[in-house]
Amino acid sequence: MATSTIKEFLVTYLMPEKCYYELFLNFHFHVPCLKFVLNKTAGFWIILDTFLAQLPQLIKMLWGGSAEGLSLSAFFLQLYAFSCPVVYAMANNFPFFAWADRLFMLAQTVAIVFLILHYRGDTVRGVLLLFALCGVMLLLRSYAAAAVISVIQASSLAAFIASKVLQATTNYHNGHTGQLSTLSVLLSFAGCLGVAFVSLQENGNSPVSLSHILSACLSCVLLAQILCYKAGAVSTTKKTV
């Protein structure tokens, strides 16, 4: 019964039935089947990253009532990085369903930036930021040249990578990761791995693929910092006791 359930799940969501028999019954590591499964898995990781990566960070900040340890500059860069695809989609009149996920991620990031400012006692600046962001995006969508929009879109990945460098540097200088969410970083790491894998399949060792690999490596650094600093804090507490 359990085997039948597992088979049904795998065949429904991850692989055709032929691949199930090749991999799990014949124990034959069929390369096309492995690539198919990896691509499917990478797709799930990317979807999870797009819809959920920022949500645990937002919840952790609301639950703790603090933005300690979070780099405002890093999240400003993320705000820019997530705004770029939305502006690009609006300027090119893409159907809403094609970029709704990006808008959802942008909304979460806006909320995070606002909370960082709010918890630092700068709520008014946070509200002004929301209006300014909406205004700039609408102006770019309406009046910016196509070449400018394309350059903005192309720069989003670089901004996202830079945001991780800034957060990792902040963690190092602080000696802790503060309110940085482990689950958010883990989802981002999985999503970056998925995008890097798909990009390598489609573009080979192109600069874009290498950039996605770098982004995944930086997410790994952030995850390692969280685990190391937490382990260090636990060790220090035990010694104190």
Query: Is 50 exceeded by the pLDDT of residue 47?
Result: yes
Measured CA to CA, the distance from residue 230 to residue 182 in angstroms comes to 11
Longest dimension (CA), the chain: 64
What percentage of residues in the chain have a pLDDT greater than 70? Answer: 85
For the chain, the distance separating the N- and C-terminal CA atoms, rounded to the nearest angstrom, is: 50
Query: What is the pTM for the complete model shown?
Result: 0.83
pLDDT digits (tens, 9 = 90+) for 158-168: 999 999 999 99
pLDDT confidence of 99, banded at 50, 70, 90? confident
Written as six digits, the tokens of 32 are 């096309």
User: What six digits make up the tokens of 4?
Assistant: 């039948």
Residue 64 CB contacts under 8 Å (≥ 6 apart), including other chains:
179
Closest C-alpha to 79, from 118, 33, 116, 41: 116
